[in-house]
Amino acid sequence: MAGDAIRLDGKVAVITGGAGGIGFATARLMTARGARVVLADIAVERARELAATLPGAIALPLDLGDEASIEQLIESTVAHFDRLDVLHNNAALLGPEIAQNDGDVERMATELWDRTYRVNVRGTMIACRSALPHLRASKGNVVNTVSNLALQGHLIQAAYASSKAAIIQLTRSIAASHGVYGVRCNAVAPGMTVTPALLEAFPPALRKAVEDETLRDQLGAPEDIAEAVAFLASDAARNITGQVLVSDGGCASHVPGIAGFRAFFSGDQA
């Protein structure tokens, strides 16, 4: 394998939620590595402004809750670029209203549960279904964004977390069914990552609680997640499929309560 296998020259990548914090950081990195990207977002004006800053990039409208819109996105991408190499399913139902109302199951509104599954799970499945014939042709791949909340229990976000866990299983199903066609499918699981949306949705005290459990000295940045996505999308990851790559500063890697242990041993081993 050539030493530059991590580059993405000649590849076309669709990034859903490309106008968001992590999505745009990924678009920027993929472009720097030679890809041409589609920023697909419900916030299409913002996507257009951002696409104009990246060479070879275009913006397309997308509502991940709407089947026809997803199919149109893939069709328009292939009509424009004549190929599709990477589908990066990064968009999700997020925002302060969702964060405030998606709590534990006893308080769960059925409508919020359905909306979350419609966008996150159904939308991701339809995007994969639409893209797979083109990915078979290019021997391309899918990178799904999940969350470390899909791997561990929490007090909050029962709908979001379980929808992301469903996407992990979808990732494995596609990897299994399409490996024979040269198509890979992986997931990236970010931990808490500092984006404008996160700063709006989570008060400082909750961000600090997560930071205290992180093994680095800070929370992740959108660029950290972009590095994991761009690696999995590249030929450098040609032997990796059906996997979940966690990028969370080690937050989910240790036994619970490390912050308390640090405090206990403070001055000694902190």
The first and second tokens of residue 42, run together, are 């419900």
* Cβ–Cβ < 8 Å for 171, 144: yes
- The interface mask with ligand NAD, positions 175-214, x = CB under 6 A, is ---------------x-xx-x-xx----------------
Please, which residues bridge with residue 245 across strands? 188
Interface with ligand NAD, residue 249, by CB under 6 A: no
Q: Which of 119, 187, 236, 246 contacts ligand NAD by CB under 6 A? A: 119
Q: Please, which residues have CB within 8 angstroms of residue 154's CB and are 6 or more apart in sequence?
A: 161
| Amino acid symbol at 59 | A
CA distances, 175 to each of 1, 9, 160, 186, 226 (Å) = 22, 23, 23, 7, 21
Considering only the stretches 15-23, 30-38, 233-241, 262-270, report the one whose residues sit in contact with ligand NAD under the rule CB under 6 A.
15-23
Q: Residue count of the chain, please give it.
A: 270
Q: Please, which residues have CB within 8 angstroms of residue 230's CB and are 6 or more apart in sequence?
A: 6, 8, 26, 29, 30, 33
Considering only the stretches 12-20, 96-104, 126-134, 258-266, report the one whose residues sit in contact with ligand NAD under the rule CB under 6 A.
12-20
E strands of the chain, at which residues? 12-16, 36-41, 58-61, 86-89, 141-145, 184-190, 244-247
Nearer to ligand NAD, 26 or 141 (CB): 26
Nearer to ligand NAD, 6 or 198 (CB): 198
| Amino acid symbol at 11 | K
Smallest gap, in angstroms, from Cβ of residue 76 to ligand NAD? Answer: 14
Considering only the stretches 2-10, 91-99, 101-109, 127-135, report the one whose residues sit in contact with ligand NAD under the rule CB under 6 A.
91-99
The label of the residue with tokens 């929808």 reads: 163
The first and second tokens of residue 82, run together, are 């004549």
> What one-character-per-residue DSSP string does 165-227 give?
HHHHHHHHHHHHHHGGGT-EEEEEEE-SB--HHHHHHS-HHHHHHHHHH-SSSS-B-HHHHHH
Concerning whether 160 is annotated as a catalytic residue, the answer is yes
Selecting among 59, 74, 128, 160, the annotated active-site residue is: 160
Interface with ligand NAD, residue 64, by CB under 6 A: yes
Smallest gap, in angstroms, from Cβ of residue 217 to ligand NAD? Answer: 17
Q: Which of 77, 124, 130, 147 contacts ligand NAD by CB under 6 A? A: 147
Q: Which of 8, 11, 14, 21 contacts ligand NAD by CB under 6 A? A: 21
Of all residues in the shown chain, the one whose CB is closest to ligand NAD is 20
Interface with ligand NAD, residue 19, by CB under 6 A: yes
Smallest gap, in angstroms, from Cβ of residue 201 to ligand NAD? Answer: 9
Nearer to ligand NAD, 7 or 27 (CB): 27
Active site positions, annotated? 160
Chain residues binding ligand NAD by CB under 6 A are: 16-17, 19-23, 41-43, 62-65, 90-94, 119, 145, 147, 190, 192-193, 195, 197-198
